[in-house]
Amino acid sequence: MAKIKIDKEKCKGCMLCLSVCSNGLIVRSKKLNKRGIHCVEFKEKNKKCTGCAMCAIICPDVCIEVWR
Amino acid sequence: MKTKNRILITGNEACGEGAIQAGCRFYAGYPITPQNELTAYMSKRMDETGGVFIQAESELAAINMVFGASVAGARAITTSSSPGISLKQEGISYLAGCELPAVIVNIMRGGPGLGNIAPSQADYFQATKGGGHGDYHCTVLAPASCQEMMDLTRTAFDIADKYRSPVIILGDGILGQMMEAVEINQKSRAKKQKSKPWALTGCKGRKPNKIRSLLLKDGELEDLNRRLQKKYELIKKNETRLEQYKTEDAKIIIAAYGTSGRIAKACVDRLREKKIKAGLFRPISLWPFPYKALRKLGTGSTKFLVVEMSTGQMVEDVRLAVQNDKKVSFYGRTGGGIPSEEEIMEKALSLK
Amino acid sequence: MEKIIFKKPNSMKDALTHYCAGCGHGIIHRLVCEVIDELGIREKVIAVAPVGCAVIAYDYWNFDTTEAAHGRTPAVATGIKRVYPEKVVFTYQGDGDLAAIGTAETIHAANRGENITVIFVNNGVYGMTGGQMAPTTIVGQRTTTTKKGRDLKRDGFPLKISEMIAILEGAKYIERTAVSSPKEILRTKRAIKKAFEIQIKNEGFSMVEVLSMCPTYWGMSPEDSCKRIEKDIQKVYPLGVLKG
């Protein structure tokens, strides 16, 4: 069962990962990181993460690690 | 190149041979009169010695190729003449800022603008006061013969590596084009090149090296500048070079370098024949300028005549050293004009 | 138990970059490092950073790097490569560095068939200096120096530098890709890898032009910037292999 880990402090809130996650498992976080940015969170809803790594591939700041 | 001990060679080619003797195996240049023999010579010699010769698309590209070779730890040289040297100023400032060794040869020609292809010394300020941006200095050596064109170019590489700083050889159209006998012997070899752990050679077995002159963090660039100034103090202490000829009892001292220095030397002898106590003060290092030695000579009632192929640039440094304008006068030809012995004699005699 | 299948490449430092949110540089930096890891050349690669947004790329790369005067990057790389033909030398340049002030250096390095690899990031503006028109700004695009949009009569045409380089015999491999979607990003990675392989086999000059997002100075969201590349930029700068 695949999963991802997001480095919240390096995230700049560009939302590109959110835009490419076909199962919509990445959401904009309500909390702010230390630099006052609404970063993203990995939220497993009904659908499961397939470990496709699209989010990690498009992330400009190497914030996402993927396990499969 | 058989290492016979005496060969007849042009100044331009002697300069190139000095670089080869120094173990320099990287040349990037661009055609410009009056230094073309140098570029042609290096294209031959680099092929013979397995070195790199590149005729670049511009003098601008050439100095940056030298920057790259120097970053990789190689001894590298670029040669040009006045307008081309102007194009290299940004690159030279980068070499100084990155603390990189390199040798830049300027065979000066008439200026400003496209000027002409006659000899000149009008790039003195550009070379010694720093033609590019920022608080930096190049060590500037001024040959006055084909022998010095070779020897000083060879020495330039040792100085450049020792202090990790660019060195300029300031010649002129006469020195480049004229032919003289030149002595080549065992000592015509550079000292052993020291290793350069700072160079970019691929980070195998060490942390990656970083060579750049962009220093944005607060105080970082000021620290670099302080470090550069310390280096320049060392260069002033160790690398000042000059020739003094019959200055011990001289009442009139002609201060001149390069070709003007040679003409002035002949005038000193002719003045001595006329029972006038004349002497020659010939700086060989234009930066660091030999202020101390000149100041010592300027104590008594000695008068100074500065002779240049320009409208007067080194004269300012002579005034700084002598600190008494009444004692320092100037005679210069410019725009490619060459001061003759007679003209200098006439001026010197008028000073008595 | 899951296995990690995606993480930071070893050739990349673990650093927070200065790039804006959604900027393509971060992606391209990573791709270069992934390729260097996969080719196992971290210890023999020497990079030349440009003047531009990527000027401090050396703070993010874990290998020998220098930084050239604006536009002179290919000349510096030429110097390094000629001294060390067995090392892998690449430049990383923006559109201003490569196609404006450095046009001559780019063309002549390619024409000499220098065995170097050029990573050319085309984001259509001068980012570091605040969003001015670049040689690759497309007609009608607003920048701080084309307030009413790039005007053909005043500002001329977007420069097709890669097409120009492709006709040079010294140029062995030229491809234009993008980082506007995961698919394009993976194609960019393949192109970069091929370019490095061309260099390693001493076959001549290789260059990958990468269409990249600049949300800040395009004045749009990162996601819209990606769409803009696919919709507008690719019409002027079509993707594909231009040479080799």
- Considering only alpha carbons, which residue of chain C is nearest residue A2? C2
Residues whose CB is less than 8 angstroms from the CB of residue C223 and which lie 6 or more positions away in sequence, other chains included: A15, A16, A19, C22
Write out the H or E segment, with its range, that includes residue B200.
Answer: none
Contact B214 C77 (CB under 8 A): no
Rounded to a whole number of angstroms, the distance from the CA of A56 to the nearest CA of chain C is 7
User: Strands C117-122 and C88-94, how do they pair?
Assistant: parallel
pLDDT digits (tens, 9 = 90+) for B217-239: 999 999 999 999 999 999 999 99
Distance CA C221, CA A3 (A): 27
Write out the H or E segment, with its range, that includes residue B101.
Answer: none
pLDDT at B280: 98
pLDDT at B1: 55
Q: Specify whether the CB–CB gap between B222 and B248 falls below 8 A.
A: no
Give Cα separations from C166 to B59, C28, C113 (angstroms): 25, 22, 12
Q: Give the Cα-Cα-Cα angle C63, C69, C70 (nearest 5 degrees).
A: 105
Q: Are residues B125 and B223 in the same domain?
A: yes
CA nearest to C44, candidates C92, C11, C79: C11
Residue B11 has pLDDT above 90, yes or no: yes
Q: Are residues B206 and B307 in the same domain?
A: no
Give, as one character, the DSSP assignment of residue B207.
Answer: P
Write out the H or E segment, with its range, that includes residue C244.
Answer: none
Residues whose CB is less than 8 angstroms from the CB of residue C87 and which lie 6 or more positions away in sequence, other chains included: B201, B202, C44, C45, C46, C80, C81
Residues whose CB is less than 8 angstroms from the CB of residue B89 and which lie 6 or more positions away in sequence, other chains included: B126, B131, B132, B133
Interface test with C, best of B71, B206, B213, B215 (most C CBs within 10 A): B71
Verify cis geometry, omega within 30 degrees of 0, for the bond prior to A60: no
pLDDT at C46: 98
Fold annotation for A3-67: Alpha-Beta Plaits (3.30.70)
Q: Are residues B206 and B103 in the same domain?
A: yes
Question: Which residues face B166 on adjacent strands?
Answer: B102
Give the structural domain span for B186.
4-238
Q: Neighbours of A (≥3 Cβ pairs closer than 8 A)?
A: C
Q: Specify whether the CB–CB gap between B117 and B109 falls below 8 A.
A: yes
Give Cα separations from C145 to B136, B212, C125, C148, C219 (angstroms): 34, 30, 10, 9, 14
- Last residue of some domain: B188, B222, B238? B238
Residue B273 has pLDDT above 90, yes or no: yes
pLDDT digits (tens, 9 = 90+) for B92-150: 999 999 999 999 999 999 999 999 999 999 999 999 998 999 999 999 999 999 999 99
Interface test with B, best of C67, C83, C91 (most B CBs within 10 A): C83
Q: Cβ of C3 under 8 Å from any chain A Cβ?
A: yes
Alpha-carbon Rg for chain C in angstroms: 17
Instruction: Find residues 15-74 of chain C whose CB sits inside 8 Å of chain A.
Output: 16-17, 19-27, 30
Distance CA B240, CA B31 (A): 32
pLDDT at C4: 96
- Partner residue opposite C223 with nearest CB, options A3, A19, A68: A19
Residue B341 has pLDDT above 80, yes or no: yes
Residue B132 dihedral angles phi and psi, to the nearest 5°: -95, -170
Q: Do chains B and A touch (3 or more CB pairs under 8 A)?
A: no
- Partner residue opposite C80 with nearest CB, options B61, B68, B91: B68
How far out from the chain centre does Cα B46 lie?
A: 22
Residues whose CB is less than 8 angstroms from the CB of residue B122 and which lie 6 or more positions away in sequence, other chains included: B82, B108, B110, B111, B112, B309, B310, B311, B313, B334
Q: Specify whether the CB–CB gap between B212 and C58 falls below 8 A.
A: yes
- Residues of chain B above pLDDT 90, percent: 94
- Last residue of some domain: B182, B203, B238? B238
Distance CA A39, CA A26 (A): 10
Contact C104 B67 (CB under 8 A): no
pLDDT at C236: 98
Considering its fold, how many domains does chain B have in total?
Answer: 2
Burial class (CB in 10 A: 0-12, 13-18, 19+), B185: exposed
pLDDT at A45: 80
Residue B243 has pLDDT above 80, yes or no: yes
Q: Specify whether the CB–CB gap between C98 and C161 falls below 8 A.
A: yes
- Considering only alpha carbons, which residue of chain B is nearest residue C75? B65
> Which chain A residues have a beta carbon less than 8 Å from that of C8?
62, 65
Distance CA B223, CA B230 (A): 11
Burial B20-44 (b: 16+ CB within 10 A, else e): bbbbbbbbbbbebebbbbbbbbbee
User: What is the ipTM, given to two decimal places?
Assistant: 0.95
Q: Cβ of C183 under 8 Å from any chain A Cβ?
A: no
Superfamily of domain C25-243: Thiamin diphosphate (ThDP)-binding fold, Pyr/PP domains (3.40.50.970)
Q: Give mean pLDDT, residues B196-212.
A: 97
Question: Which residues face B28 on adjacent strands?
Answer: B54
- Partner residue opposite A54 with nearest CB, options C5, C25, C182: C182
> Which chain C residues have a beta carbon less than 8 Å from that of B193?
none
Q: Where are the domains of chain A?
A: 3-67
pLDDT digits (tens, 9 = 90+) for C72-122: 999 999 999 999 999 999 999 999 999 999 999 999 999 999 999 999 999
Q: What is the dihedral of CA C131, C132, C133, C137, to 10 degrees?
A: -10
3-state helix, strand, coil in chain A (%, to 5): 15, 30, 55
Q: Where are the domains of chain C?
A: 25-243
How far out from the chain centre does Cα C177 lie?
A: 10
pLDDT at B2: 55
Q: Is B307 helix (H, G, I), strand (E, B) or coil?
A: strand
pLDDT digits (tens, 9 = 90+) for A2-54: 999 999 999 999 999 999 999 999 999 999 999 999 999 999 888 889 999 99
CA nearest to B31, candidates B72, B73, B62, B69: B62
Q: Cβ of C127 under 8 Å from any chain A Cβ?
A: no
Give, as one character, the DSSP assignment of residue B287.
Answer: E
Distance CA C86, CA C51 (A): 26
Q: Where are the alpha helices (DSSP H) in chain C?
A: 24-39, 73-83, 95-96, 103-111, 152-155, 161-166, 182-200, 215-218, 222-228, 234-236
pLDDT digits (tens, 9 = 90+) for B175-198: 999 999 999 987 777 778 899 999
> Which chain C residues have a beta carbon less than 8 Å from that of A56?
6
Q: Which parts of chain C have pLDDT scores under 50?
A: none
- Last residue of some domain: B213, B238, B263? B238
Instruction: Give the number of other Cβ atoms within 10 Å of residue C219's Cβ.
Output: 12
Rounded to a whole number of angstroms, the distance from the CA of B88 to the nearest CA of chain C is 11
Distance CA C50, CA C76 (A): 10
CATH of the domain at B257: 3.40.50.920
Q: Specify whether the CB–CB gap between B61 and B28 falls below 8 A.
A: yes
- Partner residue opposite A61 with nearest CB, options C6, C17, C186: C17
- Residues of chain B above pLDDT 70, percent: 99
What does the block give as tokens for C127? Answer: 């980012």
Write out the H or E segment, with its range, that includes residue C40.
Answer: none
- For chain C, the first-to-last Cα distance in angstroms comes to 43
Q: The whole model's pTM is what?
A: 0.96
Q: Is C133 helix (H, G, I), strand (E, B) or coil?
A: strand
pLDDT at B66: 98
pLDDT at A42: 96
Burial class (CB in 10 A: 0-12, 13-18, 19+), C242: buried
Q: Strand (E) positions, A1-68? A: 3-6, 26-32, 38-42, 64-67
What does the block give as tokens for B257? Answer: 């370098």
Distance CA B291, CA C67 (A): 37
Q: Specify whether the CB–CB gap between C92 and C119 falls below 8 A.
A: yes
CATH of the domain at B65: 3.40.50.970
pLDDT at A44: 87
